Structure formats: C-alpha cells, structure tokens
Amino acid sequence: MSIRAESIPPSHLHTMSPPSSVPKEYRPDYLPPNVTGQMQENLPGKQRPLDPAPFNDTLADGSKYKPAGKLEGKNTVITGGDSGIGRATAILLSVPLECRWLRSELTSLSAREGANVFIHYHPSEDQDAKDTVKQIQEHDPKVKVEAAAADLRTEQACLELAEKIKKWSNGRLDVLVNNAATQNEVENIEQLESEQWRHVFDVNIHAIFYLTKSLIPIIPWGGSIINNASINPFVGHPKLLDYSSTKGAIVGFSRALSNQIVKERGIRVNCVCPGPVWTPLVIATMGEESLSAFGPTTPIGRAGQPIEVATAFVFLASPDSSYFTAQCFHVNGGSAY
C-alpha cells in the first residue's frame, strides 16, 4: 500500500499572498504614507505625531499579543520606555493577566505579562511618557507603574535615576532593560563633530555602565539584564559611525559582563540587535534617502514594528530564557551576520 501526498502546484505557490487579515504594515515593501513628510527635527523624536502609529501589541497575523503572566509581580526598568521599542516592551511586560481586554472589547490593547514597570524617558519626551503610562493603566489602575525623566549624558544624572529606581523597587530589581539611545546621520568622518561623538557615547554606552553598576547590587539570582544593541555594528552603517561604534561596545559589554557575573550571581546578560524598525528616533534622525529605502532591502521585504522586537525582550526577561546568556538576538528581518 502506498501513500501519496498531495502537492501544491508550483503556479499556485508563486501567486500566494498574505491573508487579508494581515495588516498592511506587515506586508512586503510597506512604507508609511508620506514618510519623508513626517520627518522631525528634534531628537530623540516623538511618537504621538507618527501616522500610522507604530504597533505596540498587534501581531503580524492581525491578532493581539496573548500574555502568559510570565513576569507576574516582577520589578522591571526600561530606559527610553516612552516610545518606540521601549514603549512596546513596557506595554508587553506590564499589567496582570486578568485585565479588562479579556472581558470586553472596550480597549484596543491586550493583556500583558504582569510585571511592575519603571519607565525612564528624556525630559523632552514628557507627553510620550504620559501616553505610555496611560495605556498601561487603562488595563488596571492599580498596576505599579512610574515614569521619571533624566538626561543620561552625565554620570550624576544616571546615579540620581538609579536612586529613584531603588526607592521605587523597594530594593529588588528583577529585570533591567537598557534601551535609551541616540543617533544622527553624518556623511563622513570629517563632518562628524567631536561634541556629537562624545554625546552619542555618553548616552548609548556610558549610561549603561553607570546604571548597571549602580543597580546590579539589587538584582537577585535569576535576574536579567537586557541591552538594546543594533544590527549596525555588524554591517557598519556608513552614516552612523558613532552610533555603530557604541552599539558594538554594547555587544562586548554584555558578553563580558555575563561571563563576569552569571556563575557567581546568577544574573543573565543578553542583548537584542534590532534591524530597521519604525520608531520616532528613525523619523527624527534619518534623511529622505535613508527613509525611502528603510526596510524593503531586508530579506523579509519591510521594516519591523516595535512589538516584533519587544517580544524578544519579554522572552529574555522571563524564566523561559534561563539558559540564554551572553547572546545577541538578531531581530532584523532575515539579515544574517
């Protein structure tokens, strides 16, 4: 007796297209309408004006993110948590499993993983921070969430922020997400001012060192430190020399710190390396040429949405990733390095 498998005709394979339920933002070659017309002049960029708004909780099949309560009661901190990848991560991490979305369709946001969340934001991003906190509290007014502004360019500002975090967390921090960053395109090294070079290093890598050093004494065994790196140190973005350099430093810092502390302290350290993702920082820092080609050159054919990176942070924050440390998670639409 023989068993024959039905095959799909090759002609049909070549005509397959995404189901109608897939949002246009997840289809190949997607670019936001009037993307260059949405360019912003001031760093680090604001999320509220973006149209359409980046996805914080809608998945590629059009469904809402479904939580599992993996971080119930855990204290988490996210720098740069007011917008972009930081906002999406804060939303997915927070709010109890039993929230309003599971009982009605009154809100467009879904339930999350149940963590308490402390959000850091740049002083110029006050409205975005308020919007993020509001979205989190819509599910449960009793959720423990706080936002604090700080300019991370100085060690003193980082230490003051760390003291606020220690007070908020009652001396126990389970997850630290170092996400805050800045960038600005410059054509060549001759045009790159020393002031910008120092500024980018202060925000992108020095602040991670200061905050991590100050907060690591209150991270218990089983805790997780997750640093937002980038695809750029692996590809060497020609217009982001300073930014790419700092992100490469983050990779080295993460691996070395993990090897230093994981055995003795039980704290895992990993980094996430996003590819092109639609965030306010991109709109505020890239020129028309870069924006018009942002995403379609990836194997998947489009730029990512913040939630597609935030899910990696949730995994690395949770006990599911207990055997993952000193790793770089490449969330970049298929580019291999």
> How many CB atoms lie under 10 A from the CB of residue 123?
10
| pLDDT higher than 90, residue 31 | no
At 264 the three-state DSSP class reads helix
* pTM for this predicted structure: 0.86
Distance CA 86, CA 106 (A): 25
Distance CA 100, CA 319 (A): 26
Work out the pLDDT band at 98, boundaries 50, 70, 90: low
Question: Which residue segments constitute the domains of the chain, with CATH numbers given?
Answer: 69-331 (3.40.50.720)
Active site residues: 243
The letter for the amino acid at 200 is: V
pLDDT of 56: 80
What tens digit of pLDDT does each residue of 75-93 get?
999 999 999 999 999 999 9
Mean pLDDT over each residue of the chain, to the nearest integer: 86
What tens digit of pLDDT does each residue of 38-51 get?
555 665 655 555 66
Who's near 267: CB < 8 A, 6+ residues apart?
A: 216, 219, 221, 222, 223, 224, 225, 261
Work out the pLDDT band at 95, boundaries 50, 70, 90: low
What tens digit of pLDDT does each residue of 252-294 get?
999 999 999 999 999 999 999 999 898 777 776 666 777 777 7
DSSP letters of 222-250?
A: T-EEEEE--SHHHHT-TT-HHHHHHHHHH
| pLDDT higher than 60, residue 315 | yes
Give every strand in the sheet of 145-149, ordered side by side: 145-149, 116-121, 75-78, 175-178, 224-228, 268-274, 328-331
pLDDT of 287: 66
pLDDT of 103: 40
For the record, the structure tokens of 262 come out as 């994981």
| pLDDT higher than 60, residue 109 | no
* DSSP designation for 304: B
| pLDDT higher than 90, residue 112 | no
